[in-house]
Amino acid sequence: MFLTQFIHRSLRESPGRPMTVFGDRTFSTTESADRVARLANGLGTGTGDCVSLLSLNSDRCHETILAGWWSGATVSPLNSRWTAPEIAFALEDSGSTILIVDENSAPLVPELRELCPTLDRVVYAGSGAVPTGMIDYDRLIAESEPVPDLRIGDDAVALLLYTGGTTGRSKGVMVSHKGLMTSTFGTLAAGKPAIADGVNLLANPLFHIAGIASWMAQNLMGGTQVFLPVFSARAMLEAIDRHRPTTVGVVPTMLHMLVAADDLDSYDRSSVQVVRYGASPISPALLERAMEVFPHSGFTQGYGMTETAHITVLSAADHLKGGELLRSAGRALPHCEVRIVDPAGNEVPTGTVGEIVTRGDHLMLGYRNLPAETAEALAGGWMHTGDAGYLDERGYLFIVDRIKDMIITGGENVYSTEVENALARHSAVAACSVVGVRDPKWGERVHAVVVLHPGVHVEFEELRDHVKSLVSAYKAPRSMQFVDALPLSAAGKVLKRDLRIAAEAEGAITSR
């Protein structure tokens, strides 16, 4: 298996069809394939090399990733929100000597050169004038002859995706051609994340596995990729109206902003047949509203992590069943095994909460330069996700919490997602997150951070009583902060560490 296979198939079947769209720039399959073959030569990479990419989503990201694979190299898309020291660490760790940047990341290059002396060449793939000392991306393509696809795949490292980076040492996840292809095939078989010869609107960043997964699914199915560099509700709705995508991918925070847009009904959303979501829990109220906003769409939820890609999917048919299933992450995909185990690694009975583990050809090869961490994560051949959950009698997976986010208050275990789901059912709550913070009496106390709908006011005690009406009283928040927005990572996940820090500051409302 090699991940450039789809290019050769598309060249035979639909050479004139648009393959990429970015703003007003469109390239056909033939044009895109030619640019990839030329760029592979111009970059001068080969087997064992690593190309790093620091850019917002664009057609040039698409070309860079494929050009790396075309030449047998590994590609490392880096988080566009990272600081220069975080980026420099990834460059050094990956062994990259080539970095592709856009206009947003180009200002970091002088500092990166100081921090990373091994950085040899920087290619400018942004708009406007090429900064001094950088190589012009389009000129590099124009002046390079196309080279044949080396068709290197299977266990070769295709992607090096760095996790975290905000605390501690970031880990480089080595994803093989076979691993990504296996996961994509499994997801296509069970979850229908892409329509054959359809149009995929890509808003999730390509440095995140969710973005890579949706991009790869549409690649394998043929069709067109439309790239959205920065998400906003207006930008996405305008892109849907203009480009008529058949599939879109979002995280719940994006979905919330979309359905809350004031001018929502002025945009035609009827082309969308599939809405994919994942990366964090979604409230039943938000999901129900989203299904009203996209009435012609099937909804699918994927669950996984960088080290595994998707391992379960809640299908469109499952969504139509409603009820309890809407809290589920779906069933295991056909390419992998999923189990729930206790701390000793023993499988637990149906319905019992434990750690979610998975096994199969979809797993990462390991963490780059971290053999001990790799051995721990892949102990016994199973990837230990660090997520707590349970399987029901039908094989549906219910995620309870990150194990490290479980709150132990007064000796009782509280899973933050359970409290978040209860809070989200109050009509005043637009978004919320729950964390545990240190408390001299309880060890940890349940702390909620809440975003209210515009123009709405509600008292802390009312929300606390609302939660107590739905879950055990000890799970109800003992303190609360009201904020305008939750802090999010570039992948759309709530930064709970930031919430814990803020909770230590003044301003939290605390119960007696």
The DSSP code sequence of 393-421 is TTSEEEEEEEGGG-EEETTEEE-HHHHHH
- pLDDT in tens for each of the 512 residues of the chain? 899 999 999 999 999 999 999 999 999 999 999 999 999 999 999 998 999 999 999 999 999 999 999 999 999 999 998 889 989 999 999 999 999 999 999 999 999 999 999 999 999 999 999 999 999 999 999 999 999 999 999 999 999 999 864 345 689 999 999 999 999 999 999 877 889 999 999 999 999 999 999 999 999 999 999 999 999 999 999 999 999 999 999 988 788 889 989 899 999 999 999 999 886 667 777 888 899 999 999 999 999 999 999 999 999 999 888 888 888 999 999 999 999 999 999 999 999 999 999 999 999 999 999 999 999 999 999 999 999 999 999 999 998 877 877 788 877 778 888 899 889 999 999 999 999 888 877 878 999 999 999 999 999 999 999 999 988 888 999 999 999 999 887 667 788 888 988 887 755 666 54
The residue among 302, 301, 312, 311 whose CA lies nearest residue 360 is 311
Q: For position 170, what pLDDT does the model report?
A: 83
Reduced to 3 states (helix: H, G, I; strand: E, B; else coil), residue 118 is coil
Give, in degrees to the nearest 5, the angle at Cα 250 between 247 and 251. Answer: 155
Domain for residue 378, yes or no? no
The DSSP code sequence of 273-340 is -EEEEESS---HHHHHHHHHHSTT-EEEEEEEETTTEEEEEE-HHHHHH-GGGGGS-EEE-TT-EEEE
φ, ψ of residue 476 in degrees (nearest 5): -70, 145
Compute the distance between CA of residue 246 and CA of residue 257 in angstroms, rounded to an integer. Answer: 20
The residue among 430, 433, 429 whose CA lies nearest residue 417 is 433
- Which of 146, 169, 192 represents a domain boundary (last residue)? 169
Residue 428 is part of a domain; what is its CATH number?
Answer: 3.30.300.30
Domain for residue 362, yes or no? no
Domain for residue 46, yes or no? yes
Instruction: Give whole-number Cα distances, 356 to 213, 311, 351, in Å.
Output: 21, 10, 13
Q: For position 43, what pLDDT does the model report?
A: 96
Q: Torsion angle, CA of 427/429/433/434, rounded to 10 degrees?
A: -60
The 3-state secondary structure of 216-274 reads HHHHHHCEEEEECCCCCHHHHHHHHHHHCCCEEEECHHHHHHHHCCCCHHHCCCCCCCE
Domain for residue 501, yes or no? yes
Q: For position 25, what pLDDT does the model report?
A: 97
- Which of 169, 201, 220 represents a domain boundary (last residue)? 169
Q: Which domain holds residue 53?
A: 1-7+31-169
Q: Exposed/middle/buried for 500, CB within 10 Å: 0-12, 13-18, 19+?
A: middle
Domain for residue 16, yes or no? no
415 CB neighbour count, 10 Å cutoff? 22
- Which of 144, 169, 194 represents a domain boundary (last residue)? 169
The residue to which tokens 């080279």 are assigned: 147
Q: For position 281, what pLDDT does the model report?
A: 61
Q: Torsion angle, CA of 186/190/196/198, rounded to 10 degrees?
A: -100
Compute the distance between CA of residue 183 and CA of residue 391 in angstroms, rounded to an integer. Answer: 21
Please check whether residue 196 is in contact with residue 223, taking contact to mean a CB–CB distance below 8 angstroms.
Answer: yes
pTM of the model as a whole = 0.85
How many distinct structural domains can be found in the chain? 2
Residue 81 is part of a domain; what is its CATH number?
Answer: 3.40.50.12780
Domain for residue 244, yes or no? no
Q: For position 166, what pLDDT does the model report?
A: 38
Domain for residue 421, yes or no? yes
Domain for residue 452, yes or no? yes
